[in-house]
Structure 1
């Protein structure tokens, strides 16, 4: 954390299209000297950056190219130089060179993570236009440390490449989503209001904090009175800045009037969710108490399935995968492990799939695990393949999409706190459905399943580890979707019903109440009260004639309890009453009772009038139509001729149709279960194929990048070849025009090339290239040629001789033969140059 110099530092990340956004942002800044700005962009390592000159034209603040060890001072803008990675520590900038082999892909995440660690609540992160997801992890790191976060919005100045800011916004951790021209003004306002936190230490502020504790406790059910006072005050200050309120009293009024702001504050207080092995004691308990049970009795042919809903950027997933890998390494027969990691945030899933994290986010990973499960690439750490191959990442909504099945462990930490009670009541039974019998559920420290004690039993209450009870799973199907999100009535499993509010009849001792109670008990028809999901919340007396407990574990689902012959009409009546919000009536229903006797009954289903906002309840009344009959009497009754034989025939056909329909419904429910299981398998296969496809796409991108580099190199080589061709042509023309007789030899005295003028001295042709010079007719006039050539190659000194040689045209003439060493660019002698010069005759 920073020392005495207490001023905010703004990290600004940009990539493709970022120059325009930076110009717009800095154009809106004045000479405000309360903030320091550090700009990190995706700079090509092969080009010098001129960003400091560009930005200098749009702001009056000094723009400086960052240097290693340079102190960070307010009122200045620091720009990342080319071929460097930028960090910050102890109030100074830290530079290190790019690894030319493994180039860092996320320099913005690296700097933001360092900034969060060094400056805490004084850190500000801004993500501008760019492609990819760089900056997402850095924004999360800044938010976790209490900093302020911005992203370029799509209104006003539209980002040319919105992927980077959109990825940051999708995390839900961006405080301000603004156009670039408004970010500068907001930063200036933030600088002016930064001293608010000191104002939260007065006695009046402490009283306001106590009231905020009470508001949170009343509205979200969590008590933050034990929260660290400084941390709590900082999070409150952040919400005040977002709400643009400068007095704590005004913010308390805002909380009283706006439940949404209470929820936003609650989420800010619980933001620290991205660490690996967050709550280390909880993961240690998972390792010791759950993992051995998962692997017990499993062999190489078995599969252990884990589901991590709401996986975000993958830290929790990889934490579990590392624990799994550690346990697997100690086994002889290793079962297959599949960890299904799901989320509705596609950019976060892209970050998770890459498995690439800045070093600052690995603080909670032990050095041993860091060495074993991560490989350093550039300035980041990448999860090794042995861990990544256990994980399958896929978009999935735990509320809307069909759940997984046959899961051994569901790890859902710090997701339920974002759901209201109604959604929690849907999700927790879904987890129970997804788990195998005796499977395990791992929740966050602020979450619980206390209202579902019939579904889960606690294994470790402190660390929120639960085990699914082995409840009956062969009842009705899971919730079916109607109009996208509404749950169809009476389609839920008995063990998964939403718990209704307790049925609390008013108490009293008046005579009227006593009489009414007596009349209801003695003379009212048998009845039950159910919720809209079909779960019984109240029984009257004498319902045994119509209901019976099924075999297996207890159930409160009315359709499961109904006797044979009653279910079809009861189902249709319940549905009609819910859809019409009025009473529904069915009559002439033959119900088979005890000892095979038949009772003809009618049923009435009617909604109960309740206070507004209460969960709807329905009363189901059973009326006997005459005495019960033996089976023979019932058959004689059915066979007795009645007026209107056509109507009688239609009645029989209708009864047969009902029986067939009941059979079809049961077969449909069975087939639906099988289809869901098959669908889940197909989803799993599809996710694996998606993962493979993503790996192939990543390989394709790498190949494309390599191809582009090769094309660039090829273009450069083509240019050099053209230059060499021109140089060779120039030399050839020079030799031809000058008339110089020169022969170039290698170290073995082999002719490499020669000028046309040599033909006047040596009978040599183009086909003689590659032959030793000593093979030609120079020898009679120059017997020491070979010796002199060897001496030049050895000593590197030039030798000059005068010789007489019979020439083809001029007879005997005197010539000067000069032998010089041929030196390469590194000054090494790689051959010799022999030149012939005719000595003009005197007189």
Structure 2
């Protein structure tokens, strides 16, 4: 589109319950707003649509059924016809007929992503009532290209079906979550500033003016002091465009006025930070890094492994799955070159269930496939009416689950972790927790793959560089296993589920586990969970009386952490439970704390297999009152105390 005739084009996505929302939306749109609207809905291929006739009764804008090659004009509405998908190229609509029996499942993503590429910051995405998560990939593309995103909120007139708008809002990429009746006013309010980024860039280029260096340094300083992130090494052109975009949203016409706005509005630094980190997770993003992964790491992962072995990969913060499938494709390519390949599993986790539903569907618009070579596109995807679906041989390697790297226990015995562009979202304290957690999860010698803006920081004793340019590191073998990190919500194993699992039942299960964990911690005895090697994989509250950190390297070995008086009984009870697979108890064990003797009973109970199939054991410590025959134990503890004092003097 020529720069002197550009105008915003608004993609409007709706599905179930969308008719009422569309009526309310267009009732409030003025006839001279100067925007064009393209409506994308989920239509049954064999049903005639009367949407154009219905909307014509609620708006004075021109309403058209979209046609192939139709030039988009301002103050007009274009409606997707049945049995087709729609894209835009050079301001012209491209209609793609869908083969019978192959309905496009994500028509909103398809159009939004092409709109982002074609219109840049003149692209606007609006997500209204609908079920599912169609639109999430599309709004990510719109945001990356500097556009504007609105979603229907649940205050005011609520969406009849909240799936689509809630998925969009949960992505963190929505600029304005507002009731549908307020959207037209919000578009009108922002109409003047759409195009500001290009206008500022063009004005600076024409006048030869360098960016306001003083204001930019002030922005760097504010982000450093308030959020702990230094963007001075960020690509300056991208930084300025993202700042200009925030200026557009907040109607600031200069960097100086935006700096003043930042100082007044305490939430704006966080919003700017999020916009600076917008980075659509595309396939094989950062080509050089993935080339290094393919050539340096992937072959080493398979060395010495045969058909009886396993290979475990973990991708925390996997979002909508592009990086997961990129890694899975590299693994599949290598597996197809060798005989007797190991069993490969890629564990993909995120805290956002909406994003995970997109990842499990494994369906991506063609506009988001630019990182995939023609050869890989042909081999690992099937083209389905404008969308590309990952083939089953790659999908079967991947398992998706809700999991928080900060709250939930990590995985163990992992061969490679790809944690790219996740740590930059964490503050300093969260990073200090996350990196040891990742080291704990890796086997000694396992690989860590970070984003180009991330570093291991102060944890060089845990990770050795393999390829600094591509941010690939290797877990050092530090001898004793690293200390198990503590987690906010107690033990909550990652419940890997199939794409067809009942989400309501899953939600109930998580709620039940959370309640049980709280009750156990508040009213139950102190306890730990260990594996067959005696490594602690979970601590409850109030275990400090029985376990204490030893001098030297950190460890999670139960018998190293246990008080000396308890070790013999712990060892024998754990061995008995391992061998018999039955509960074992040891009663009235005396031990010394703070110059007096206490008594405890220890029970060791086998649990069902853990997430990786290994046996685990619950060890509970139950405080006991002294029994009648404890005089001998007390004398023994007192004698031990005297022996220690004598040893200390010598």
Where on the TM-score scale, by shorter chain, does this alignment land: which range? 0.7 to 0.9
Aligned to 2:126: 126
For residues 748-787 of structure 1, what are the alpha-carbon distances to aligned partners after superposition, in whole Å with 9 as ceiling and x for unaligned? xxxxxxxxxxxxxxxxxxxxxxxxxxxxxxxxxxxxxxxx
1:309 maps onto 2:313 in alignment: no
CA contact (8 A) 1:490 1:534 kept: no
1:350 maps onto 2:281 in alignment: no
For residues 580-613 of structure 1, what are the alpha-carbon distances to aligned partners after superposition, in whole Å with 9 as ceiling and x for unaligned? xxxxxxxxx999xxxxxxxxx978xxxxxxxxxx
CA contact (8 A) 1:476 1:491 kept: no
CA contact (8 A) 1:126 1:150 kept: yes
Aligned to 2:423: 416
How has the CA–CA distance of structure 1 residues 563 and 359 changed in structure 2, closer, same or farther, with 3 Å as cutoff?
A: closer
SS for the counterpart of 2:389 is strand
Separation in structure 2 between the aligned mates of residue 475 and residue 238 of structure 1, nearest angstrom? 44
Alignment of 1:83-122 (within 5 A): 83-122=83-122
Aligned to 1:331: 338
Separation in structure 2 between the aligned mates of residue 355 and residue 451 of structure 1, nearest angstrom? 37
Separation in structure 2 between the aligned mates of residue 492 and residue 250 of structure 1, nearest angstrom? 56
How has the CA–CA distance of structure 1 residues 563 and 351 changed in structure 2, closer, same or farther, with 3 Å as cutoff?
A: closer
Separation in structure 1 between the aligned mates of residue 222 and residue 562 of structure 2, nearest angstrom? 49
How has the CA–CA distance of structure 1 residues 291 and 259 changed in structure 2, closer, same or farther, with 3 Å as cutoff?
A: farther
How has the CA–CA distance of structure 1 residues 337 and 2 changed in structure 2, closer, same or farther, with 3 Å as cutoff?
A: farther
1:216 maps onto 2:218 in alignment: no
Separation in structure 1 between the aligned mates of residue 155 and residue 613 of structure 2, nearest angstrom? 40
Aligned to 2:379: 372
1:468 maps onto 2:475 in alignment: yes
CA contact (8 A) 1:277 1:283 kept: yes
Larger radius of gyration: 1
How has the CA–CA distance of structure 1 residues 242 and 404 changed in structure 2, closer, same or farther, with 3 Å as cutoff?
A: same
How has the CA–CA distance of structure 1 residues 22 and 481 changed in structure 2, closer, same or farther, with 3 Å as cutoff?
A: closer
How has the CA–CA distance of structure 1 residues 204 and 424 changed in structure 2, closer, same or farther, with 3 Å as cutoff?
A: closer
How has the CA–CA distance of structure 1 residues 396 and 247 changed in structure 2, closer, same or farther, with 3 Å as cutoff?
A: same
Q: Report the CA distance between 1:217 and its aligned residue.
A: 3.7
Q: Report the CA distance between 1:233 and its aligned residue.
A: 3.3
How has the CA–CA distance of structure 1 residues 431 and 675 changed in structure 2, closer, same or farther, with 3 Å as cutoff?
A: farther
CA contact (8 A) 1:18 1:128 kept: yes
1:382 maps onto 2:389 in alignment: yes
CA contact (8 A) 1:534 1:557 kept: no
1:679 maps onto 2:610 in alignment: yes
How has the CA–CA distance of structure 1 residues 336 and 492 changed in structure 2, closer, same or farther, with 3 Å as cutoff?
A: closer
Q: Report the CA distance between 1:267 and its aligned residue.
A: 2.1
Separation in structure 1 between the aligned mates of residue 591 and residue 160 of structure 2, nearest angstrom? 71
SS for the counterpart of 2:401 is strand
1:56 maps onto 2:56 in alignment: yes
How has the CA–CA distance of structure 1 residues 206 and 286 changed in structure 2, closer, same or farther, with 3 Å as cutoff?
A: same
Separation in structure 2 between the aligned mates of residue 68 and residue 52 of structure 1, nearest angstrom? 17
Q: Report the CA distance between 1:257 and its aligned residue.
A: 4.7
Q: Report the CA distance between 1:8 and its aligned residue.
A: 1.4
For residues 293-337 of structure 1, what are the alpha-carbon distances to aligned partners after superposition, in whole Å with 9 as ceiling and x for unaligned? 110000001010011111111001000000000111111121110
Give ranges in structure 2 of 5+ residues lacking alignment.
491-513, 537-546, 568-589, 616-650
How has the CA–CA distance of structure 1 residues 104 and 234 changed in structure 2, closer, same or farther, with 3 Å as cutoff?
A: same
Aligned to 2:572: none
The match for 1:280 among 282, 287, 293 is: 287
Aligned to 1:82: 82
Q: Report the CA distance between 1:255 and its aligned residue.
A: 2.4
Aligned to 1:20: 20
The answer to which structure, 1 or 2, has the higher relative contact order (CA under 8 A, 6+ apart) is: 2
How has the CA–CA distance of structure 1 residues 440 and 180 changed in structure 2, closer, same or farther, with 3 Å as cutoff?
A: same
The match for 1:236 among 229, 238, 243 is: 243
CA contact (8 A) 1:110 1:379 kept: yes
Separation in structure 2 between the aligned mates of residue 482 and residue 138 of structure 1, nearest angstrom? 34
How has the CA–CA distance of structure 1 residues 387 and 237 changed in structure 2, closer, same or farther, with 3 Å as cutoff?
A: same
Q: Report the CA distance between 1:256 and its aligned residue.
A: 3.1
Separation in structure 2 between the aligned mates of residue 269 and residue 83 of structure 1, nearest angstrom? 38
SS for the counterpart of 1:681 is coil
Aligned to 1:43: 43
How has the CA–CA distance of structure 1 residues 2 and 463 changed in structure 2, closer, same or farther, with 3 Å as cutoff?
A: farther
1:360 maps onto 2:367 in alignment: yes
For residues 518-540 of structure 1, what are the alpha-carbon distances to aligned partners after superposition, in whole Å with 9 as ceiling and x for unaligned? xxxxxxxxxxxxxxx988xxxxx
How has the CA–CA distance of structure 1 residues 681 and 328 changed in structure 2, closer, same or farther, with 3 Å as cutoff?
A: same
SS for the counterpart of 2:46 is coil
Q: Report the CA distance between 1:242 and its aligned residue.
A: 4.0
1:183 maps onto 2:183 in alignment: yes
Aligned to 2:449: 442
Separation in structure 1 between the aligned mates of residue 41 and residue 366 of structure 2, nearest angstrom? 19
SS for the counterpart of 2:458 is helix
The match for 2:464 among 457, 460, 463 is: 457
Alignment of 1:144-163 (within 5 A): 144-163=144-163
How has the CA–CA distance of structure 1 residues 555 and 223 changed in structure 2, closer, same or farther, with 3 Å as cutoff?
A: closer
Give ranges in structure 1 of 5+ residues lacking alignment.
497-532, 536-546, 569-588, 592-600, 604-650, 685-843
CA contact (8 A) 2:407 2:487 kept: no
Aligned to 1:270: 277
SS for the counterpart of 1:680 is coil
The match for 2:256 among 230, 249, 252 is: 249
How has the CA–CA distance of structure 1 residues 419 and 492 changed in structure 2, closer, same or farther, with 3 Å as cutoff?
A: farther
Query: Matched residue pairs, number?
Result: 543
Separation in structure 1 between the aligned mates of residue 357 and residue 614 of structure 2, nearest angstrom? 19
CA contact (8 A) 1:405 1:434 kept: yes
Q: Report the CA distance between 1:144 and its aligned residue.
A: 1.4
Q: Report the CA distance between 1:450 and its aligned residue.
A: 1.8
Separation in structure 2 between the aligned mates of residue 230 and residue 436 of structure 1, nearest angstrom? 40
How has the CA–CA distance of structure 1 residues 77 and 233 changed in structure 2, closer, same or farther, with 3 Å as cutoff?
A: farther
SS for the counterpart of 2:142 is helix
How has the CA–CA distance of structure 1 residues 464 and 492 changed in structure 2, closer, same or farther, with 3 Å as cutoff?
A: farther
